[in-house]
Amino acid sequence: MSDIDPILLAVLNGRLVQIADEMDATLYRSAFNPIIAEAHDACHGLYHAETGATLVQGTTGLPIFVGAMAFAVKAVIDKAKVDGNLEEGDTYIFNDPYDGGTHLNDFRLVRPLFWNGKLFCWLASVGHWLDVGGNVPGNFNAKATESFQEGFRIPPVKLTRAGVMQHDIIDILGANSRVPQSNWGDLNGQLNALDLGERRVKALLEDYGDDLIVTAMDVLTARAEKLMRANIAALPDGTYSYDDFLDNDGITDKPLRIALDLTVSGETMRLDFSRSSPPCDGPLNIALSTTVACCYVALKHIFTDVPANAGCLAPIDFVIPDTTLLGVSAPRPVGGYTETILRVIDTVFGAFAKVAPERANGSPYATINALSLSGWREHGRRWVMFCFFGGGLGGNPETDGLNHGNNPISTATIPPAEILESLYPVMFTQWALRPDSGGPGFNRGGLGAIYEIEALADGATDVSLLGERGKFPPFGVNGGGSAALNSFFYDTADGEKNPSMVSKVADVKIAKGQHVRLETPGGGGFGDPLTRDAARVARDVRLGYISSEAARRDYRVVIGEGGAVDQAATTTLRSEA
């Protein structure tokens, strides 16, 4: 296995990754809903024929899906074994969040690829569909207490049998969505992506033969494991703990603890979440496969040189009891999974800051702010706008955090205002950086953003939000400060209001001409703010990133007339700190 020529291995790896990348691009270019077409909330890959383990992941798909998809493919493998009727041309479809899924909007298509009459591997596609029923359009129901209130749930079933579409399945899917035409377009895009992937893999097998490709995949997996073990071995042994909190579960206004005990022992690592809060009533629960997937994302951010396949998880032991909100089963609601996985990632970052402080990052803004606006068009058709929004990333050892970026769960992009305005009866009246929102530090946290949206529809527009970081701000590391809290406002006849649950709301209606406004967090700072060069602070003030008041308060830097540093006053102020 180790005798394969390294140049040939690099060529084969490039071909394999290119297949997944082309599958991603095919779906992005053909999807109907902007969350896939513009935001790229989707993923494709190749998976092991027997275990479902990740073999190849593209460079543009969402990282959070990488770990979860291996569980999803394994669920299909188990289903096929029970049914005993797997054949070429079959395609399974499902969205079960407790069996390799994430939440009900993420539909998975899994297809076996046969070569010379034998199962060679599995191809899989996942994409976020716009609406799958439930109590709230867009399905981010902050008040859900069971999955039935979040949407319809489909176990692994055959969408195509030997290449023949099962139209009864299509009918069921269409009857359970407010926007079936959008889902139909996304489904066809996913099927086309699988078709392309199948053609590309078979072309690769024709060029090189299946024995060589299997060998290459085995070598790449083994190398990922070896790299991960080497990275872990370079860390000091010990147990490092970190706790963070979710604002609430949308039902009861009390914090939920996400607690991690990270143990490094030689070239292995254990992630133990046993001290986390028990399952909650609201939609902030997640399944075990989802927890593993977001830990994978966090580790990939820390160990950037490790390839994206199953080998990187081989040295990791996960302890995720079903007595916590991180390992639930049906029918616990999981629609707000994005918020919980971001907090899990934060605990990994927080614990790692104790393992190797010099490599730590400040917390990112760590909420997607899942905002849904919906209503009826003049001709009687339903419209549903779901979107997620940006914020600041954490300061790091090299630079300030990124302003207005996306969360570390994804490589997704924030849909442009122009696209959303062209598709839905809304207008963005503000889309701007949020001053003073980044955590102070030697390297400052990136800035969050302000989004204000005006309703243009004649009838009432329904509003729901499922967010986080309204009570517990993104933290800094190595002496860096916390970022600003998340805030949400909506107009009423009695003036502007905030949600009683701070970061979550449902059952709100706004009239034509009224607004909603999000003010998102920045990222946490890295290092002591008093060690930041005063000239960098002055530049931030000139750019509008921080106010002169924040410069004085957080950095002990006095900005004089014209925006220049008052050196004497600054020296005095810093000496008093």
Domains of the chain by residue range: 6-226, 361-529, 533-577
Phi, psi dihedral angles at 104 (to 5 degrees): -65, -20
Distance (Å, whole) CA 494 – CA 567: 48
- Looking up tokens 């696209």 gives 419
Phi, psi dihedral angles at 377 (to 5 degrees): -80, 165
Dihedral sign computed on CA atoms, order 305, 307, 310, 311 = negative
385 and 426 Cβ atoms separated by less than 8 Å: yes
Strands 157-161 and 91-94: antiparallel
Q: Which CA distances in Å does 444 have to 276, 441, 456?
A: 30, 5, 38
Q: Tens place of pLDDT for every residue, the chain, 577 residues?
A: 457 999 999 999 999 999 999 999 999 999 999 999 998 999 999 999 999 999 998 888 777 777 789 999 999 999 999 999 899 999 999 999 998 889 999 999 999 999 999 999 999 999 999 999 999 999 999 999 999 999 999 999 999 999 999 999 999 999 999 999 999 999 999 999 999 999 999 999 999 999 999 999 999 999 999 999 999 999 999 999 999 999 999 999 999 999 999 999 999 999 999 999 999 999 999 999 999 999 988 998 888 888 878 899 999 999 999 999 999 999 999 999 999 999 999 999 999 999 999 889 999 999 999 999 999 998 888 999 999 999 999 999 999 999 999 987 766 688 899 999 999 999 999 999 999 999 999 999 999 999 999 999 999 999 999 999 999 999 999 999 999 999 999 999 999 999 999 999 998 999 999 999 999 999 999 999 999 999 999 999 999 999 999 999 999 999 998 899 999 999 999 999 7
What are the residues whose beta carbons fall under 8 Å from the beta carbon of 300, sequence distance 6 or more?
63, 306, 308, 312
348 and 382 Cβ atoms separated by less than 8 Å: no
List the beta bridge partners of residue 119. 114
Phi, psi dihedral angles at 19 (to 5 degrees): -60, -50
What are the residues whose beta carbons fall under 8 Å from the beta carbon of 441, sequence distance 6 or more?
362, 395, 476, 478, 479, 480, 481, 524, 525, 526, 527, 528, 529, 532
- Looking up tokens 């290459």 gives 216
What burial class does residue 270 get, using C-beta atoms within 10 Å of its C-beta: 0-12 exposed, 13-18 middle, 19+ buried?
A: middle
565 and 558 Cβ atoms separated by less than 8 Å: yes
What burial class does residue 538 get, using C-beta atoms within 10 Å of its C-beta: 0-12 exposed, 13-18 middle, 19+ buried?
A: buried
Describe the strand order of the beta sheet including 487-492 as a list of residue ranges: 426-433, 449-455, 515-519, 487-492, 495-497
Please name the helix (run of DSSP H) or strand (run of DSSP E) that holds residue 294, with its range, or none.
helix 288-302
Task: Provide the token pair at 502.
Answer: 């701070």
Please name the helix (run of DSSP H) or strand (run of DSSP E) that holds residue 240, with its range, or none.
strand 238-246
Task: Provide the token pair at 256.
Answer: 């939920």
Describe the strand order of the beta sheet including 504-510 as a list of residue ranges: 382-387, 370-376, 461-466, 504-510
- Residue 1's pLDDT is 43
Question: Read out DSSP for 78-113?
Answer: HHHHHH----TT-EEEE--TTTT-SSTTEEEEEEEE
Q: Which CA distances in Å does 77 have to 99, 127, 554?
A: 12, 20, 55
- Residue 410's pLDDT is 65
- 3-state DSSP of 427-495: EEEEEEECCCCCCCCCECCCCCEEEEEEECCCCCEEEEEECCCCCCCCCCECCCCCCCCCEEEEEECCE
Residue 440: asked if its preceding bond is cis (omega within 30°), the reply is no
What burial class does residue 426 get, using C-beta atoms within 10 Å of its C-beta: 0-12 exposed, 13-18 middle, 19+ buried?
A: buried
Distance (Å, whole) CA 366 – CA 425: 28
What are the residues whose beta carbons fall under 8 Å from the beta carbon of 574, sequence distance 6 or more?
530, 556, 557
Specify the amino acid at residue 557: V
Question: Read out DSSP for 112-173?
Answer: EEEETTEEEEEEEEEEE-S---SSSTTS--TT-SSGGGT-----SEEEEETTEE-HHHHHHH
H helix intervals, 209-287? 210-233
259 and 243 Cβ atoms separated by less than 8 Å: yes
Helix (H, G, I), strand (E, B) or coil at 408: coil
The CA-based dihedral angle spanning residues 187, 192, 194, 196, taken in that order and rounded to the nearest 10 degrees: -170
Phi, psi dihedral angles at 352 (to 5 degrees): -65, -25
Among 390, 351, 365, 340, which Cα is nearest to 473's?
Answer: 365
Specify the amino acid at residue 206: E
Distance of CA 7 to the CA centre of its chain: 34
List the beta bridge partners of residue 517. 452, 489
How many CB atoms are located within 10 Å of the residue 469 CB? 31
Q: How far from each other are the two terminal CA atoms of the chain, in whole angstroms?
A: 61
Residue positions counted in the chain: 577
DSSP 8-state class, residue 405:
B
Task: Provide the token pair at 407.
Answer: 């969360």
